[in-house]
Structure 1
């Protein structure tokens, strides 16, 4: 079993013993998503830590989007719950890059690839996403690439 999945299970047990309802529900939800990912496809398999992190990123993104949707619909209580779940998940993800670091990475990738305009955006995005490796949301990376190539 991957170390990250084992950590999630141990933290779930701790949260249940502490009667932390938010953390318990969030960890159960993410472990269910990990289990669903393990049995999807042609045959069941054990996920690696990187694959578990991908599931965590996907679930965190869902929480951010749901919080925004609830907030814009005037449902503050549900929005706050989704944000709190997102914060629990963020604790298991690598620290996000700040804007200056992201700009420096994209600038380095642009010079390495020799990109000269928006027509090279796909090439830059592919290389930049490889370097960033989950430490920044894809939309942020794309916005920075557009800004530098535009």
Structure 2
């Protein structure tokens, strides 16, 4: 069987994760190994569902969803006073977040929102959807949608 064709230029998230998975297996780092295996399974499932190789933004979306579900699980474990399981989820989040672009700080997000509001001429709460669409199109992966929505609501009165 022939090896899969390699893309010229950038290394995909999947290739990076596979490489790091091999390193984790060699180093006997079970948490990292198990977490990366789950993320690879998510990427593979998404690729099968889409019917084509994933683009970088699609890979980012899958990885972002993995973090989001683990954050929700950690919150539920905290409410149930299961600190052991909560800590495991938080540790998995730390592993996965290494593959995401760094999140912008609140001040940076505010300045971006302000610029988009002025640029697009947005004024009222009815424009919140348009603002979020533009924000997420330009800064997907760099901005958390939930916190951006809360900050955006301050600008649109």
TM-score past 0.5 threshold: yes
Q: Which runs of 5+ in 1 are unaligned?
A: none
**Relative to structure 2, which stretch is displaced further, 125-134 or 58-67?**
125-134
Work out the CA distance in 1 between the residues paired with 2:100 and 2:60. 7
Deviations 1:60-96 (Å, cap 9, x if unpaired)?
Answer: 1111111111111111010000000001000000000
Q: Match for residue 25 of structure 2?
A: 16
2:36 to 27, 51, 74: 27
Aligned length: 148
Specify the SS of the correspondent of 1:135.
coil
Work out the CA distance in 2 between the residues paired with 1:37 and 1:123. 27
Work out the CA distance in 1 between the residues paired with 2:59 and 2:105. 23
Contact 1:97 1:135 in 2 (8 A): yes
Structure 1 runs (4+) deviating above 3 angstroms are none
Matched, 1:71 2:78: yes
